[in-house]
Structure 1
Amino acid sequence: MSQGDSGKGGGGGSGSKLDQMKEGMRSKIQESIDRAYAEHKHELFKRRIDLARQGVRNFELKRMVEAVKAFETYLTILHDWKGAPEGGLNPSYFDIKKDLPEMLLISGIYWDLAKLFDRTRNKEREFRHYIEKFIVFTKGMPYQPVASETLRKYIRNDKPVHKDVFKSAYRTLTGSNCFIATSLVDVCDDGTIHALRDYRDSVLLRSLPGCLAVVVYQKVSPPIAWALDRMPEIVRALAGRSLDRVARGILGKSNPVTF
């Protein structure tokens, strides 16, 4: 081999070693970046509960901008930690036995965000996203009955802007086919829907005539409920009072139904 060839071979070896050194340095730098990012994620994850508490406190104090910021930061941390796509967080990322308290917290945060965006102009898309997430993190959970009752009281007492959407959410959570009663949930006494539902389940559905009556009701009631939703408030109030009287008659009470 000539001296020139030997020089070329030596140069090639030096270049290969240099490339290896560069690759090693890049790997170490990337490892450092990954480690720092993981530590940062872990620190944020540990802070998430504090952020949620800040959001709740700001919401109670009517500091809505700060509440939204804290809530959305909390949710972003969870999305990142669980590896969920944006807006894709759902109960499948959690262990219901171990993570139930956190899932209850998430449900509550989505509920507060839904209420907040219900009254925010030009934010209907965000509102619908949050109410859907509230349903996803509530339906089938041990706290579903309490959440459903909270939703019912909100519909009745707080006069939401998107009342139909909240009613639909209530129907979804309760699994109720009492379309007329759900339509009038905001103008009925507190226990009316419960009384009617209990009567259906414990009396009507235990006999063939009762079952037939329920089937007929479920077929004819949706258009009636649709019409009731669009009637003047005074008409709806009268219909609600009539439904209350039916419930009182079922329970054999003379006083308004309360639970």
Structure 2
Amino acid sequence: MKLGAFDIYPVADGRFRLDGGAMFGVVPKVLWEQCCPADEQNRIQLSVTCLLVRAHGKNILVDTGLGDKWDAKYRERFAIDRTPTLLESLKEHGVAAEDIHLVINTHLHFDHAGGNTLRQGPQVVPAFPKASYSIQRGEYEDAVSANERTKASYREENFVPLAQEHRWEFLNGDAEIVPGVSVVVTHGHTPHHQSVKIESEGQVAFFLGDLIPTVSHLPLPYIMGYDLYPLQTLETKRKVLRRACDENWLLIFEHDPAITMGYVRRDREGKYFLEPVRVS
């Protein structure tokens, strides 16, 4: 779709499943299963939606999905179904891996950075051979020194090879990447998680990443158990949703299996709800 002078395209990297309880934290199952039914292993369906932005003659990719470096054990554990793959989705818009100029990772968890790299024989190499990759410096440092609480979410093959190839552009806080495309640090899920703000001709789109992974997470207390700092998430959500509502931002959800984007509104009780936008 058009966003001012820019083009934005949600691009898929298939679907997977995660534990429903972990996805909703302290919210009781009797509440969250009304919107997100679980399978026999208590897992809920999630999409993997990345974003292609065409701005100033550049192809910018926000997040890279799960990637293809998974063995059978993990494919089964997470019910990974990469139909279509990210590269297939990009191809539908006439874009090949070689055409991507810049990759922005919201953070480095396996379902957001898995497609950063790919295997070529015994080696792991950048999946986008002409692109630079942007991440918060603190996020990278946390990823390479992951502890017992965080290491399951980080896979070094998704980010260390890029450092060896000198592909990273490390950021320190909010930053404009190109005119109209900026990153905004949205603390909570990880200490240095960032979302991406796209602004052109008075229109704003905001790619949420894991700040608000699905539409079902719009209520302020609906916060993932995966979030390292849930009270920070709460305050970040409060600030972002207030601005999104007041300034009519288009919100883009990375993990909702049914709704990709929409405009957030408040009802008479002050609760947020979404007016979905159809993706053609």
TM-score tier (shorter): under 0.3
Larger relative strand fraction: 2
Give the TM-score, by structure 2 length: 0.24
Q: Which has the higher helix share?
A: 1
Q: What is the TM-score with the length of structure 1 in the denominator?
A: 0.25
